[in-house]
Amino acid sequence: MINYFVKKMKHYKNIPIFIKFKKDKDFEYRLNFMIFLSKFFNYKRTNHGDKIEELIPSYLDNIIYYSDIGDIENTFCSNFNLDKIYKSYQIFSDEYSKDLYLSQLINYSFVGENSKGTLFLLYYSHIWNQYKKVENSIKDKLDNLFLFDLSNINIPIKLYYPYPYGLFSDFILEQYKYKNKVYVSEGDIVIDGGGYMGDTALYFANLVGKTGKVYSFECVDSNLNIFYKNLDLNPNLKDIISIQKYPLYDKSNQQLNFADGADASRIMDNGNLKVISISIDDFVENNKLQKVNFIKMDIEGAELKALKGAKNTLSRFRPNLAISLYHSFSDYYEIPLLLSEILYEYEFYFDHFKLGRGESILFCKAK
């Protein structure tokens, strides 16, 4: 839709040039148009649910008005390498991905309570009608966790989880599926990098069925304790999921220090949890896997390293990929550029599944 506006306003002479890019005037125009348009959209992040900060649409708020808060163009240039952004932008296979990619780069530049970018299509989507159904699926509470029964939205899964939005994103928005192009199918072998409490593993297991397998990598004990509880709640899916207590990395047998941050546990020099890494290539070889159909990664900034440890698997099996980009500014271009070098004859797509900064996913599909 944004591309429609860009084409319609192609000859509109009053769009300011905030950022010059002489290599490609069409890219320059689209980027500056996106910045210009973003100055008219303003979203507020609010506390919602159990002290979880999410941006949930409030239709009592006016989001369309001019505001130059945050100095978009200078903030953008200080956060990103423009040449690498351009190279990544060129990789994408459809106009939707290109538009949303530029919009999310703007949105990601805003750390505080204000959000920018052209996210109004998601903001006003009817999909939010389903969010209330996820909230209404809460049946019980265990400490700081809610017990969700998703059967009321025709998903035969029960699980403990700390807040509704994660499940809304996993099961309703389906953030690890790109339209009808990149998705998990029955019988697939899935590598689930970043298992957390088992939500994505259960999502994938429900799709692959008894003839498939999900290898879910999670190394943080506090998350694993809930993960095992969630498997017991779903005996029909339990045997499809194999928990691997390792962090994915470029090389195996490296000692890594993790800071336990629940859904944002990450490698840190002063982390108090010491774990031993494994690479995807070594895992595939050690377990003599005969195929890998899908790789998902949401591993809190270790995606680039983990992908470097999967080069043989990517070349041999040519799986579909869904890789999180939102853990650093540089991931938005370093990960697409790395994969464009590794993958031969692939299509690349981009989507974003949150009104806030998180949940940007790079999708890759073999032609």
The domains of the chain are located at 2-123, 125-173, 181-324
263 has a pLDDT exceeding 60: no
Report strand pairing: 255-259 vs 138-142.
Answer: unpaired
What CATH class does 181-324 carry?
Answer: alpha beta
345 has a pLDDT exceeding 70: yes
User: Alpha carbon of 166 to those of 14, 18, 87, 131: distances in Å?
Assistant: 41, 36, 31, 10
Segment 50-70 mean pLDDT: 69
Reported as type and span, the H/E element at residue 192 is strand 189-193
> What is the chain's alpha carbon radius of gyration, rounded to the nearest angstrom?
21
Give the per-residue pLDDT at 50. Answer: 43
Give the per-residue pLDDT at 215. Answer: 98
Whole-prediction pTM = 0.91
User: Strands across the sheet with 189-193, in order?
Assistant: 241-244, 213-217, 189-193, 294-297, 320-324, 360-366, 346-352
Residue type, position 298, single letter: D
Give the per-residue pLDDT at 274. Answer: 83
Segment 90-99 mean pLDDT: 95
Helices (H), 120-185: 120-123, 129-136, 164-167
pLDDT digits over 180-209, tens only?
A: 999 999 999 999 999 999 999 999 999 999
Mean of per-residue pLDDT scores for the chain? 87
Segment 163-188 mean pLDDT: 95
1 has a pLDDT exceeding 50: no
Residue that wins the pLDDT comparison between 124 and 54: 124
285 has a pLDDT exceeding 80: yes
Segment 74-100 mean pLDDT: 93
